Each structure stands twice: as structure tokens, then as C-alpha cells.
Amino acid sequence: RSLAQQWYERFEGAGLDGLIAKPRDGVYLPNKRSQFKVKHTRTVDVAVAGYRMHTDGQGVGSLVVGLHDTEGRLHHCGVTTSFTAQRRRELIDELAPYVLADPGEHPWSEWMDPAAHAEGTVMPGTPNRWSGQRQQQPWVPLRLALVAEVKYEAMLNGRFRGTTRMVRWRPDRTPESCNFDQIETATPMGISEVLSA
């Protein structure tokens, strides 16, 4: 167990995103899920910039979130999901006061123009290769006033990878205080270091 803990901590910078674990007395069982993956998880505070409706149309399916760069520009980092059906319905009412009547007031208003994506810029609501959806998903822009703490597994090129889950609202933070400086990065490690360890 201590050796596995060392691998877990040391080799993240080499691309190891976790470990496969099994109960101490467990054995390999073909075609059974008797093992599980232990992944690195972290939390970060993000600006809530909008939301998308759930596919069933009965509430908020995901919050569209972002982080600010050193110049104060808000970048789309992904979405946070995994709300219960009841929580999805509650979020509609909670977010209603923040919905922008004029989307032109949103920092991402230029993204509403298809010409803004000529160079492949990713905007909220666009399909991705992981979702299996081939159509653009409309999103509702919000006034920047809300901050959420989210749990994530990895970030690559300014975007969350894997499932991002909301932990809680952060009324003590401002959206402007949510920046990329919060992101922890593993110390890069070359393959030669891994093989010699």
C-alpha cells in the first residue's frame, strides 16, 4: 500500500492520473467490476457564467463556468454537472435573478456570433467528442455574480477534463477573484525518471 501511495503522489507529472485498486483480500474476477480507479481530485473556485438546460427540459443540466487570466479576461473552462432532478429544478429559480435580458452585456457576447469561431474557439454549449451529442446545446448567459467551488480531476489547456462536480456556492468570493492561479499542476516528469524509479 505504501508503494502504491508513492506512485500515486510521484508519478502524476508523468501522466499517471490515478491507480487501479482492489480490496486487500480481493482477486481478479473476469467480467466483474471488482476493482476501482482512485483518481487525483482537487477543488477550485470558478465564476458561474451561464447554464444549460437538462436534456429532459426539467431544470438546469449544467453550469457553464470560467476562470480569469492575469489580464482579467474570463475564459470558458467547462461545465459542472451531476445535479439530482430536484436540485436541477431548484436551480432554475435560484439562477433566475441572474439571467441577462441582454446577452450583449455578457463577457462572452462575441461568442454568440458564428464568425467568432472561425479559428476553432470553443464556446459554451458546443458539442464535444465526449458527449456523444452532435448538436449545439443552447446556453443561458448569467450576470457575473456567482462563484462555485467545483471538484475536478484534471485540467488541460485551460479546460476541465473528466467530470467536474459542484461542491458548494462561495458567497464569500467574487467572480473576478477566480483565476487560473488557483490551479495546482503536477511537476512534469520524464519517462526516464519513471523507469528509473
CA-to-CA dists, residue 184 to 1, 77, 106, 154, angstroms: 25, 15, 28, 10
Q: Does position 130 have pLDDT exceeding 50, yes or no?
A: no
C-alpha cell at 51: 447554464
The domain spans of the chain are 2-39, 42-182
Burial class (CB in 10 A: 0-12, 13-18, 19+), 81: middle
pLDDT in tens, 55-95: 888 899 999 999 999 999 999 999 998 899 999 999 999 99
Cell 462575441, residue located? 110
Return the H-helix or E-strand segment holding 9.
Answer: helix 2-10
Q: Which residue has the higher pLDDT, 190 or 147?
A: 147
pLDDT in tens, 76-86: 999 998 899 99
Cell 508513492, residue located? 6
pLDDT in the model for residue 110: 77
CA-to-CA dists, residue 94 to 61, 116, 166, 186, angstroms: 14, 31, 15, 36
Domain 42-182 architecture: Beta Barrel (2.40)
pLDDT in the model for residue 197: 64
Q: Which pTM value belongs to this model?
A: 0.75
Radius of gyration of the chain (CA): 19
